[in-house]
Amino acid sequence: MYSMKRASELLGIPVVTIRAWENRYGVISPNRSSGGHRLLSEEDLAKLSFLKDQIQKNGLKISEAARLLQQSESVPAEPDQEQAPKRPISGRSYDGLVDKLYTDLISFNALQADKTIDLAFALYDFEETFRCILVPVLYRIGAEWEAGKIAVVQEHFASETIMRRLSALYRVYPVDPDLPAVLAFCPEGERHHLGLLSFSLFLRKRGVNVLYAGPDTPFQDLEAIIGGQNISFVAISVTDTRYIDKLMEWIETAARHNPQLRFLLGGAAFDGQAARRKVKANVRYLSADEWEDWHHA
């Protein structure tokens, strides 16, 4: 087994890229060490090396290379091949459920999609289901939509179906009044809020009272709410970098008026280094991987 760092050195692929390929395209499913760190197998390394070659030598985009890898994996093994398991037995494979849910959703089979999600929740807890099944399905749908293979209405239907299921979970967890209250929102214009919802559920599960304002929230009345509801933490999710500048201006003003206030930022918009440089002392940026590590803490 190889650590992320070792795999990165051997393959000449930055750690951050390997994680992105894992999260966005589900191309590898590393095991975890007892400390929660990823351990990559020979098979994982072979897949990463294949992807790198497709991109560098054949000029493919990562989404195309990942699709090619998937297709090659679904080709049945030659009958005379040794029956070595495709994946480490100790590692869980979610591929069956991911494939099933993907097919249910793009064929608009809401009933079947709900049943598949029920099955996932029956097998795994909400966080594992979300990270290992729902997010990979969404990323796959996003890649297919980007490649023009599925229509925008299929993508909308899929994200709404998943959103509905997550929202339903929201009210089941009791609130611990001793924990500080959190306000969660996406700034004006930003409609991608599945990441924010899942983070809020993570907090709700632990008894935190999260005031979920959700997508496309105007800045205008937020400070009044922060004061009135005794908020000590603000969680914000941004996908599109265009919304960062205005958000940072608002954070600066809100922090000046409420020096005790802390801000936690997440979402794909902050993946780029340039955007991260704007982060200040009372503002913490949590990358998707750091957040994932919280689950193992």
CB of 146: closest distance to ligand B12 in angstroms?
Answer: 4
264 binds ligand B12 (CB under 6 A): yes
Run of H or E including 2: strand 2-3
CB of 286: closest distance to ligand B12 in angstroms?
Answer: 4
Alpha-carbon gap, residue 209 to 187, rounded angstroms = 20
Structure letter (DSSP) for residue 86: S
Q: For residue 293, what are its two tokens?
A: 């590590």
What are the beta bridge partners of residue 184?
A: 212, 235
CB of 290: closest distance to ligand B12 in angstroms?
Answer: 8
Per rule CB under 6 A, count of chain residues that contact ligand B12: 32
CB of 213: closest distance to ligand B12 in angstroms?
Answer: 13
Alpha-carbon gap, residue 24 to 66, rounded angstroms = 10
* Residue 53 Cα distances to 58, 60, 138, angstroms: 7, 9, 26
User: Mask: binding to ligand B12, 112-151, rule CB under 6 A, as x and -?
Assistant: -----------------------x--xx-xx---x-----
Q: For residue 233, what are its two tokens?
A: 């933490």
161 binds ligand B12 (CB under 6 A): no
For the chain, the C-alpha Rg in angstroms (whole number) is: 20
Binder of ligand B12 out of 55, 110, 254, 286 (CB under 6 A): 286
CB of 65: closest distance to ligand B12 in angstroms?
Answer: 15
* Cβ-based nearer residue to ligand B12, 193 or 204: 193
Run of H or E including 210: strand 210-217
Give the interface with ligand B12 as residue ranges (CB under 6 A).
24, 135, 138-139, 141-142, 146, 155-156, 159, 163, 189-196, 198-199, 235, 237, 239-240, 264, 266-268, 286, 288, 291
